[in-house]
Structure 1
Amino acid sequence: MSEATMTRESSRGTEARRATIVVGIDGSESSDAAVQWAADEARRRGAQLILLHVRQPEGSVMTVDSRRYGALALRDTVGLLWQQVTALKEQKIDVVGRVDDGSPDQVLIEVSRGADLLVLGAEGTGRHRGLLLGDVAQECARSANCPVVLIPPPRRRPA
């Protein structure tokens, strides 16, 4: 049974499916905002929150920022993910972290099969950074198997 299809006992003794919210994280400001939004939603729903970082295969087209994040050793990526998980657990949120390898849009779409909600940063760190929607957000919005919430990056105040 995957993390996204966990169950729990209901008061009548039958198994009830536990609500699950998956958040794709990539180190962008938009992704960080998505984690906060999803944490609030998980608290409201009593849902489990899964923070998922997808490591892209070697040779992928990435921007400088995403290369910097993607170039972190697996140990470092897991460390950053664990920091987010720990901070959310301190807020009494049922959260787990997960790192998968592959194409981010395809992995997120596959994981969405067992999720009640998929939450993503709208902008991301892809090659078209700055557009209204990043490549991964567009593909997931089109093809995910559950509702998708896209969170914009935080507004920057003019200097």
Structure 2
Amino acid sequence: MSESRPSSATRFVVGVSGSPGSLTAMSRAADEARRRGAELWPVLAWEPPGGDPAARRFPAAAVMVEEWDRLARERLLKALCDVFGSTDTGLPGHALVVRGAPGPALVRTAGREGDVLVVGAGGRGRLRRALWPSVSRYCLARAACPVLAVPPSPLQTALAAVRRRNALRLPLDMERLQREFESVPPGA
């Protein structure tokens, strides 16, 4: 029988943007990593406004690349603080800032054997889906590893409904809202 080498440690690579959906996904990825004794790799992908071709065309954009990278690092640190209370996740792994479109960057980062890619899913209306490509759909279609698409929390869904009613200046049913918020499980 041939001797097999141990595979690398399981990594939960999670896409982070700072959005409520990505924070929910990072929390779920941390829970799964903790449960399985795996590493947590939060990844924030960014690209210059207009993409890399625009940044190469304009000399002023080249100067701004360092600033955009700094802002991306700050956004990742803030997301870590929002979920964990500090920049320490309490798990092995590394937080990464990657330059590139989010979908391809996440698929490239989660390229090792044993990786699990975690992305936020849902919570997008028809207009947003038509105008902006879905990172979760890209990852589900192209990743070579398992992908865990985390739906928005029930609290996030209820909050979105309240915002829509406020934007349309419709009255709020406070008793119904109270029941909905009481039915949300702790930590959701």
Is the TM-score greater than 0.5?
Answer: yes
Aligned residues: 133
CA distance 1:95–1:77, shift in 2 (3 Å): same
Residue of structure 1 equivalent to 2:94:
96
Q: Give the direction of change, closer, same or farther, for the CA distance of 1:100–1:89 in structure 2 (3 Å limit).
A: closer
Q: Unmatched 5+ residue regions in structure 1?
A: 1-13, 61-71
CA distance in 2, matches of 1:59, 1:84: 24
> Structure 1 residues 46, 112: closer, same or farther in 2, change over 3 A?
same
Quick one: higher RCO (CA 8 Å, sep 6+), 1 or 2? Answer: 1
Aligned partners of 2:89, 2:135: CA distance in 1, in Å?
29
Q: Matched residues in 2 for 1:97 and 1:144: separation?
A: 20
Matches within 5 A, 1:113-152: 113-114=111-112, 116-123=115-122, 129=128, 135-152=134-151
Q: Distance in 2 between matches of 1:94 and 1:84?
A: 17
Is this contact kept in 2: 1:123–1:130, CA < 8 A? Answer: no
Q: Quick check: 1:26–1:124 contact (8 Å CA) kept in 2? A: no
Aligned to 2:109: 111
Displacement of 1:49 in angstroms is 0.6
Which blocks of at least 5 consecutive residues in structure 2 are unaligned?
52-66, 163-188
Paired amino acid for 2:12: I
Match of 1:75 among 56, 67, 70: 70
Structure 1's 100 and 128: CA in aligned 2 closer, same or farther, altered over 3 A?
farther
More strand by share: 1
The CA distance in 1 between the partners of 2:103 and 2:10, in whole Å, is 22
- What letter corresponds to residue 120 of structure 1 in structure 2? V
Higher helix share: 2
